[in-house]
Structure 1
Amino acid sequence: MNAGVVEKGRAAWPDFIRKEFDANQFNGRVGTQLLSETERVRVWEIRLAPGERIGFHRHVLDYFWTAVTPGRARSHAEDGTIVEAIYSAGETRHFVYGKGEYKIHDLENVGEADLWFTTVEFLDSSNKALELDR
């Protein structure tokens, strides 16, 4: 993943982004579709056409994602940082969160082709899984 910080500070965020962050900072839906859930894992898909985005969500569980397709995305993080990243097909990243740790962000496809990820969350992590609106 080739990534770079575009801006820092929420002052650069458009109003709708700030409002969405406030409304969704405890959203546990980390993908666009929950494909499978067992007592051990949740498997998510994220598929975004150019210009589409998945709104703010909170990661509290250990997880990994794999980029199924190459692409380019922009993400707003809780600390106000705006990051743009370029992903390669097959690229995978792993994340581990200690008790009380988390990450809140959104993801927007700013590329010219569909962006597709598979994300797997581990339910036996240090933190309790967030409830999902079904």
Structure 2
Amino acid sequence: MPQLLEPSATWSAARQDEFISNQFNPCVGTRLLSQDRRVRVWEVRLKPSERLGFHRHVLDYFWVAIAPGRARSHQQDGTVVEAAYVAGQTSHLTYGPGEFKIHDLENIGDTELIFTTVEFLDSANPPLPLPSEIAVGPQGAGSAETEDFL
């Protein structure tokens, strides 16, 4: 296992502890919607003041903002980034061998923050294994019977 990173000394003790505990967390969304041999599709849904804890991105991926909103993210290098999103906004990210990003995401707006994130399993890095309690839902998403009609 790679060496653990140290959290920012400027963060609260609780945030530092969470960073240490979750820096290999592969859950890049609040719910895994679908997975096949090529992709994992995640939903991120955060009500105002809700937060998605620290997680690690190692796979190439893109996200799409489904609704407008505002968020704050604590990055692995100690920086804190705030951003405003518009519906339909999209970003594509790529990671070379051994590259990754660890961050959290907090809804600092007045409306629900909703994203879809798609990870590509055939990226330069192997996918991190998902915890056994992560179940794909809704059932049937991405099945051969439905994908021809999308």
Distance 1:83 1:95 in 2: 17
Q: What per-residue deviation string (whole Å, max 9, x for no partner) do you get for residues 1-42 of structure 1?
A: xxxxxxxx9233111111100000000000000000000000
Partner of 1:104: 102
Name the SS for the 2:45 alignment partner: strand
Instruction: Verify: 1:90 aligned to 2:88, yes or no.
Output: yes
Unaligned runs of 5+ in 2: 1-6, 133-150
Deviation at 1:95, TM superposition (A): 0.3
Instruction: Verify: 1:40 aligned to 2:38, yes or no.
Output: yes
Partner of 1:13: 11
Runs of 4+, deviation exceeding 6 Å:
none
Partner AA of 2:117 in structure 1: T
The aligned length equals 126
Name the SS for the 1:47 alignment partner: strand
Distance 1:132 1:11 in 2: 29
Out of 124, 129, 132, the position equivalent to 1:131 is: 129
Out of 46, 49, 53, the position equivalent to 2:47 is: 49
Partner of 1:63: 61
Kindly indicate which of the two structures has a greater share of residues assigned to strand: 1
Partner AA of 2:102 in structure 1: I
Unaligned runs of 5+ in 1: 1-8
Select the structure of larger CA radius of gyration: 2
Out of 29, 32, 49, the position equivalent to 1:31 is: 29
Distance 2:110 2:74 in 1: 20
**Higher RCO structure (Cα 8 Å, ≥6 apart):** 1
Percent sequence identity is: 63
| TM-score of the aligned structures, taking structure 1 as reference length | 0.92
